[in-house]
Each structure stands twice: as C-alpha cells, then as structure tokens.
Amino acid sequence: MTMPAWLQGGGPMYDFVIAFCAVVGAVFLLLVIVIIASKGQRQYLEARMRRRRIELEPGFFKYVVGKEPLSRYLPRPIQRGERELVEQILFDVGRVVKGAVRDRSREAFEGLGYVDHYLGKLKSRRWWTRAEAAEKLGLMGSEKATHALVDHMNDPVPEVRVRAARALGSIRTSEALLPLTRALWDRGRWSAIRVAGILIGAGDEAVEILLREFDRMPLHAKISAIDIFGRIRSLKAIALLRELLKDPEADVRARAAFALGSIGDPTSAPFLAGALKDPNWAVRAMAAKALGRLKEEDSIDALSASLVDQQWWVRANTAEALKNKGARGMGALLSMLDSKDAYAAQQAVQMLQESGVLDEMIARLASEDGTQRQQALDIMAKLVKLKRTDLLTEMAHTHPEASIRQRLAIILGLRVHPLPSA
C-alpha cells in the first residue's frame, strides 16, 4: 500500500497535519491532566474534611449536651476553611435531637457568627440566596432572625416567602408564630393548607397563639385553626372545641366535633353525644365519627339512637362508631337487625360483616352450647329476612366444616347434600 503524495514527507500539507495532531494531542493531554488534578484535589479536600470532622465532631457532641462554652470542648480553634463543616455538624445534630441540645446548638450558631452571616445573605438581590438563607436561619432556630424573617414573609418571590414562613415555624416563639397565624387570615396571599402545615409542625406553641387569637379571627381562619387543634391533638384546645359545638356556624360545629374525635379525650363523649342531636346533619355525622374514635362506652346508647337518623351519612358513621366500641357496641348493632328502618338494619349487617362478627356467628352454628347455637340461628334468620344472604351463601359452599355448610344450606333453602358417614 502506498501513502498519498501529500502525506509523504516534506510537503506543506504534511507539516500542517503534523502540527494539527500535535496541538490536538497537547490539548487532550492538558484536559486529562486538569481532570485528574481536579479529581485528586477534590478527593484530597474531602479526605481532609473527613479527618477534620472526625477531629471536631466529638467536641461538638459533648458541647451540645454539656454546659461549658464551646471552646472548652474543641481540641483546637475552628479554622477559616471549616465554616461549612461546622455548620453541617450542627445541622446533623439538630436533625436527630430536640430540647436543650437544640438550644445549645442554636447558641453555637449565634456565637460562631452563622446567624449574622445568613441574616446578611437574606438581603441578597438573588432570590435563591435569600431563600437558602431563610431556610438555614429556620434550621438554626435563632430568635435573632425573627424580625428579618417576618419581613421576608412579604418578599416579592413566593419561594422566599414560604421558606421564611417555615423558618418562623421552626423558631416557635410567640413573636415568630403570630405572623403565621395572621397569614391564615390572608387567603389571597397564603395557602391555608401550607400555613396550617407549618403551624402543626410548631405544635403546642402554635395552639397557644391560635387560642389567644381565635375570637378575633375571620370565619375561614377559625375553621383552619380548629383543624390545626385536631391535627396537633392538643389537650389545651379541648375546652374551646367543646364550646364551639354550640357555635351558630354549622361548619364550625362539625369541624369542632371532628377535632375532638382526633384529640381522643374520652371525657368529650357527653358533649359529642349531645351533638348527635344537632339540627345540621353534617354536625351529627362528624359527632358520630368522633365518638367512634373515643375509647369509652358511655355513648353507646346515644349512638344506637342515631342508627335511625334520617341522613344515611350519620347512620353509616354511627354504625362504624358502634363497631369500634367492642362487645357492647356490637350488641347494639346486633339489636339493630330488628330495626324498622331498613337502611339502619342494612348498615348494621355491613358493619357486622366487616368486623368479622358474622363469621363468628356462622362458626357458632356448630357449637355444642345450645344457647350459642340458638343465638347464631336467630341472627341467620334475621339476615335471611333482610335478604342479606351473600355471605351465608358463600359460606354454604366454601366453609371448611361440613356440618356448618349443611346447616347454612338448610337455612337458605339450598339443596342439602347428606353428610358423609363417620
């Protein structure tokens, strides 16, 4: 094979190709060197940070559970390049612990100048820098940042506003939480769900502010506040919620009933039982649902009376509540099989089936105890009368015990197969 003439030594084209290849090769080599060097440098820096973390971390851990100043626990002063490392260590601790330890970590953030640093960044012209600063100030939990964060609840960028609100929720002082409760009023600017989520995260501190502000709130904010009381399950809100069962607004009464159920204090039962007679059916339905969540049995009679409520939703919630009340509630449901109200009776069947009581009754058909067998037979007869034979028919074909299959077949009037001889 012969090379083309222009590739044979000496010509200008040859010189150009050689020079071109040399330049490309040099650039490529340089790139490889830069990539390797930067990777090496990154690995070196990471290893150095790991070593420094191992060196400093125990000191910070001891500081946050101790009482002395930070310098007493650290093996050496913090150096200039360790700002991010120290911040990360303190954030990591804040993620897993609460209480006095978090206060100590907040003090460290303040003492080491982190709070001032991010307060400065909160003034940045770049919105993402402001958003990051707001978030970090929230994680630090410093009260010193409250005013600046309250100001940023009016930031022109929604993301910054939301992060400032979340940060205030983390600070949890009344000064920080008050603007958040006010945000519940401003439907045009703030999503009630988002603000409620932040206040729920703040816990009992938020409840105190909401209780104080409640009377002054517009209706839509009151409704959000009631939902927050229920979600936080705050015992402090129980007295107000019981009062609200008499509020002129039906929506307020219904939500107060639901919140009382979520809180789960059994002493609310008489108040909720009273709400089962509310003129508004939504309030009655919520009261029944709430009673189903309370661990008590005193409301069974009131609930049994509500099984014949005119509204199906009330009856459905009532039946479910009775199902949750154990043996006595079940007894009330069984007695509803005789109800003149067809819907209430059907609802009772549904609940008995879902709770496994009917399975137990079917099993009792083979019981050696005559009383138990008779009770089961009576209930089967009621189910046939109510035309709710779906489960019985299925069991007549599939029940593992032949004697039960045969008894069910007789009850249902199906063709009876003789029992195999013993």
Partner 1 sequence: MTEGGTQVRQHRIVVADDDPIVIKFLSAVFQDEGFEVRWAEDGEKALKVIAEAKPDLVILDLVMPYHDGFEVCQRIRASAETAHVPVIILSMKEKEADALRAFEVGADDYIRKPFNAMELVARARKLMGTPRG
DSSP state, residue 130: H
Contact 255, 282 (CB under 8 A): no
- Of the pair 35, 65, the CB lying nearest partner 1 is at 65
- Of the pair 98, 415, the CB lying nearest partner 1 is at 98
- Of the pair 58, 81, the CB lying nearest partner 1 is at 58
- Tell me the C-alpha distance between 354 and 341, whole Å: 20
- Tell me the C-alpha distance between 137 and 80, whole Å: 21
User: Considering the complex, what minimum distance in angstroms separates the CB of residue 139 from partner 1?
Assistant: 12
User: Considering the complex, what minimum distance in angstroms separates the CB of residue 64 from partner 1?
Assistant: 8
User: Considering the complex, what minimum distance in angstroms separates the CB of residue 325 from partner 1?
Assistant: 18
User: Considering the complex, what minimum distance in angstroms separates the CB of residue 89 from partner 1?
Assistant: 9
- Of the pair 324, 339, the CB lying nearest partner 1 is at 324
DSSP state, residue 311: S
User: Considering the complex, what minimum distance in angstroms separates the CB of residue 98 from partner 1?
Assistant: 4
User: Considering the complex, what minimum distance in angstroms separates the CB of residue 417 from partner 1?
Assistant: 44
Sequence-separated (6 or more) residues with CB below 8 Å from residue 351: 319, 320, 322, 323, 333
- Tell me the C-alpha distance between 178 and 387, whole Å: 59
User: Considering the complex, what minimum distance in angstroms separates the CB of residue 378 from partner 1?
Assistant: 36
54-61 contacts at long range (C-beta below 8 A, 24 or more positions apart)? 56/82, 56/85, 56/86, 56/89, 57/89, 60/86, 60/89, 60/90, 60/93, 60/108, 61/93
Sequence-separated (6 or more) residues with CB below 8 Å from residue 293: 261, 262, 264, 324
User: Considering the complex, what minimum distance in angstroms separates the CB of residue 165 from partner 1?
Assistant: 21
DSSP state, residue 66: S
Helix (H, G, I), strand (E, B) or coil at 38: helix
- Tell me the C-alpha distance between 119 and 133, whole Å: 7
Return the structure tokens found at 132: 């990051």
User: Considering the complex, what minimum distance in angstroms separates the CB of residue 16 from partner 1?
Assistant: 59
Name the residues that contact partner 1, by CB under 8 A: 57-58, 61-62, 64-65, 92-101
Polymer length in residues for the chain? 422
Nearest alpha-carbon partner for 255 in 275, 283, 233, 281: 283
Helix (H, G, I), strand (E, B) or coil at 227: helix
Q: Please count the CA atoms within 13 angstroms of the CA of 299 that sit on its side-chain side.
A: 33
- Of the pair 56, 192, the CB lying nearest partner 1 is at 56
- Of the pair 101, 178, the CB lying nearest partner 1 is at 101
User: Considering the complex, what minimum distance in angstroms separates the CB of residue 231 from partner 1?
Assistant: 13
- Of the pair 64, 357, the CB lying nearest partner 1 is at 64
- Please report how the helices 158-171 and 192-202 are oriented relative to each other, as an axis angle in degrees rounded to 10: 20
Contact 237, 207 (CB under 8 A): yes
Distances from the Cα of 345 to the Cα of 94, 318, 338, 379, angstroms? 55, 12, 7, 12
- Of the pair 57, 110, the CB lying nearest partner 1 is at 57
- Of the pair 67, 340, the CB lying nearest partner 1 is at 67
User: Considering the complex, what minimum distance in angstroms separates the CB of residue 71 from partner 1?
Assistant: 17
- Of the pair 93, 352, the CB lying nearest partner 1 is at 93
